[in-house]
Structure 1
């Protein structure tokens, strides 16, 4: 990549006498100087080249913070500078986001001397929703129009459609949301004029991203990751990796180095990875959606049994099945594509009281952690989740009181508290609250095993045997409870998201408080199940030995059954 001054000088080689029209990079440089910004970075220049010369159906995937929306706003101005009759439709996930794009574009037109001939005339449209440029001919369609993806798309016409971050956490958290978004963007083809162009700007928000589906519809993807990818990642990106990144690798740049060091140092990227978590950083900064491979994630929603639970009674047996007609399609589902929540195929008509009810609590550490809790009841080898969630904070009176009230509501007779944080301080604080609201046994448990492995090793066997039953109200409340968090962080707090995204890699989850609490409660009953199994095995062996003795006595003419003299094993 040539320097900025060399680039401006070399641009005069183009046949167009106006160097700003000949090469969008020249125009971008002028815009950046007007805004008082440093020179565009090499990656921003590379994105500019793709905007100008890319295919009719393009997807620009660049890491967060690279400035792709700003570059594209300048590109919209450049399109109008080159051809005032060009029609552009800007679509974003929200109307506000789309309007902000349009407003910024209109301000550039009004403030930059080179663009002031494009300022709308008094008799033309001029608003943040839609505006015309001065030289444009009369038309039903404005020069630039903004709309939200769920807004009124029908009736619009455009030469260029800019889909700027149409996928965000709020519209891609569940499979139903992703399916809806996939259908909405099909409307673009009805809006586009013959010979027109559709350009997506985005960062994958989920492992099942819309941007992974669009290539099947004829779109070409260009990816600019934040770090130089290693060999495995390059194999995954394939031809989608920007040639600029390939050039850096050819020049000897090492895997892991920042691809945009002028703006993001390697230390900065490490800090962001620590904040986002490994999975989040892979999506947001490396644009690596390999994590969509469900085989990496051992815990699946489809292994759960979802049914309404009684506070005091449970069926003696429940039978799991995964037939389509049993799917709980009305529940929020944040699992991977194809992962569903299922009702039981059969429920025993005989119900009886639970063996017991335990509440597990994972106290909040620091920062944005929650105090996770889960109430799990037990009967005949099945575990029943009647409550689970997270509470902001950890040691305040309101949190302690809510935990005690929840335990009372669900008839908890045993509370287990993760004691790895605070040297037992949480237990000391919560004991008097429980003594006043709901007296019951309280004990601490400590763990030394890596958290991710412990959680998976606890939950996987129980779920694969379809012995974990969960109330649908738990899933609904889990989804509703995180809506107060910022959209980009909300899903990380959800129990079902944590359950389906955990891997054996250390730090695979940004948040794990709710899932850890569930694992602690399940581990408690699993140990009981193991002890019961040992007792049953010993009883069976004793019974078999007694039967052999009876046969022996009967064979030698003995009468009756001798007292059981066998020592219990």
Structure 2
């Protein structure tokens, strides 16, 4: 009996789940079936986030096993949990589809969470379907079909070393694939030098996927028409673009690898302001406003440095957040000490930072403790205690490359015009660093950018009520004013 086409199989399965099958899914299904029948051995499925490409490829795996129970399928992903999702999906299809239920093995041990072996004719060492993470040793495995599902993610591609390591691991798949086997990649680009590019790689001068057949579906075409208008309306696409920023939208939704510098920051995207912060109380709650806008949370980020003339600066950034999710960079300061003080440099810096935290009602501070910052949290906590000011000190180890951190913090926020900057913050090097920043340049001046990025990346904490009657002495920078009228 001739078994149904994959398009019909997909449509029937969706109908069993009370789902419809959109046209873009049918196009991918027809393409996969055609390439499978014509034995095209190298395929790339690249489609926008939310397309459902991994789900369709999972259903495709169930279909090919139904057609040929002796096949062995290896699912490889950036982490094992993701690979297991596809294996579990195929298991559910076999269990619930009336035409596939006889494929389920009699022995429970052959029906595992990350692997299973269906009822088949051949005696083979490898299971019918196996899930593995990209870091796993695959020596000795064999498969007729290998699915690489999102093997390129930030964790595997955000440095040149990781990209090189990923390519080397993926090249090993040629030894696992049988001579007539097929290799299918599923994903979206996460770096300009992506494995999915059809252009020579700047790092290797080679096209990693040379000779691959490609099925590429961006969320909209060059005329702005949505690929899936029922689900991705123009308003929804615009919201995604606004939230994710130009570079991420290009790569994740348009399937066009974007260099971070393609979304290079523009000064005109900043919203400048001159208002002071005003503190008040109402109903026992702290009310902090800038102009007519109420702030709901705040965080400070301190990237410390010591006695390094011409080197990194010790920078403190204080950022508020309003109810609309806009960021307000109110104070940015290089922490300078007085030579000849009776206090050590570390203590002096912590004294200055503690005073600023109290002045600006900051409920939480993060200290980057890579290297020299390791012992500062204890000193700062002591200084805050002496001031009787409650402010948790969070220790942060930055493992992500600095250029990635800065881009992730600023790209979408600036594109949406959601970053407000007090005029005093623009008087230091922040404005110059923003204008001149180049993610591909090494050893550039970006200390203030990095501190502001850190503050914006933190989970901001609700502004706390001031205890006691002591008022701070306001210094330079964006000011704070305590209103004379206190409402209870």
Give the superposition deviation at 1:271. 1.9
Q: Among residues 251, 257, 275, which one is paired with 2:243 in the alignment?
A: 275
* Structural mapping, 1:208-227, within 5 Å: 208-212=193-197, 215-227=208-220
Aligned 8 A contact 1:93 1:166 in 2: yes
User: 1:436 Cα deviation (Å)?
Assistant: 5.0
Offset at 1:228?
1.4
Q: Tell me, which stretches of 5 or more residues in structure 2 are unaligned?
A: 202-206, 267-302, 338-348, 351-358, 378-383, 390-394, 434-488
Shift of 1:276: 1.5
- Give CA deviations for 1:390-428 in whole Å, capped at 9, x if unaligned: xxxx9864227989xx9xx79xxxxxxxxxxxxxxxxxx
1:24-39 matched pairs, under 5 angstroms: 24-38=6-20
* Aligned equivalent of 1:245: none
Out of 333, 339, 361, which is 2:318 matched to? 361
Q: Deviations 1:540-564 (Å, cap 9, x if unpaired)?
A: xxxxxxxxxxxxxxxxxxxxxxxxx
2:309 to 303, 308, 314: 314
1:148-192 deviations in Å (ceiling 9; x for gaps): 111132211000001111122232233322222222111111110
The CA distance in 1 between the partners of 2:418 and 2:166, in whole Å, is 27
Look up the match of 1:65. Answer: 50
TM-score w.r.t. length of structure 1: 0.52
- Indicate conservation of the 8 Å contact 2:245/2:413, yes or no: no
Please state whether the residue corresponding to 2:183 is helix, strand or coil. strand
Alpha-carbon distance in structure 2 between the residues aligned to 1:187 and 1:136: 29
Separation in 1, partners of 2:414, 2:30:
37
Select the structure that is richer in helix: 1
SS in 2 for 1:145: strand
TM-score, reference length from structure 2: 0.60
**Which residue does 2:363 correspond to in 1?**
398
Pick closer, same or farther for the CA change 1:362–1:522 going to 2, 3 Å: farther
Render the CA deviation track for 1:250-288: whole Å, top value 9, x for unaligned: xxxxx1121111222222212222222222221111112
Q: 1:284 aligns with which of 252, 255, 260?
A: 252
Distance 2:119 2:335 in 1: 71
Give 1:115 deviation, angstroms: 0.4
Query: Does the 8 Å CA contact 2:218/2:227 hold for their aligned counterparts?
Result: yes
> CA, structure 1 residues 79+402, in 2 after alignment: closer, same or farther (shift >3 Å)?
closer
Contact 1:124 1:132 in 2 (8 A): no
- Kindly indicate whether residue 183 of structure 2 is the aligned counterpart of residue 198 of structure 1: yes
- Number of matched residues? 347
* Alignment check: 8 A CA contact 2:246 2:263 kept: no
The CA distance in 2 between the partners of 1:102 and 1:147, in whole Å, is 10
Which moved further from structure 2: 220-229 or 137-146?
220-229
In structure 1, stretches of 5+ residues that fail to align are 1-16, 230-254, 300-307, 319-342, 344-353, 380-385, 388-393, 411-432, 439-475, 481-490, 527-569
In 2, the alpha carbon distance for the partners of 1:58 and 1:495 equals 34
Q: Deviations over 1:503-528 (max 9, x none)?
A: 999944899799x99876315899xx
1:151-300 equivalences under 5 Å are 151-212=136-197, 215-229=208-222, 255-289=223-257, 291-292=258-259, 294=261, 297=264
Write the distance in 2 (CA, Å) between the matches of 1:93 and 1:370. Answer: 33
What CA distance in whole angstroms lies between the structure 1 residues aligned with 2:187 and 2:3? 29
SS of the equivalent of 1:117 reads helix
The offset of 1:367, in angstroms, is 6.2
Deviations 1:424-480 (A, max 9, x none): xxxxxxxxx999599xxxxxxxxxxxxxxxxxxxxxxxxxxxxxxxxxxxxx95734
2:243–2:412 Cα contact (<8 Å) kept = no
Please provide the CA RMSD for this pair.
4.3
- Residues 260 and 524 of structure 1, relative CA distance in 2, 3 Å threshold: closer
- The one-character-per-residue Cα deviations of 1:40-86 (angstroms, maximum 9, x if unpaired) are 11110111122222331111101111111111111011101111111
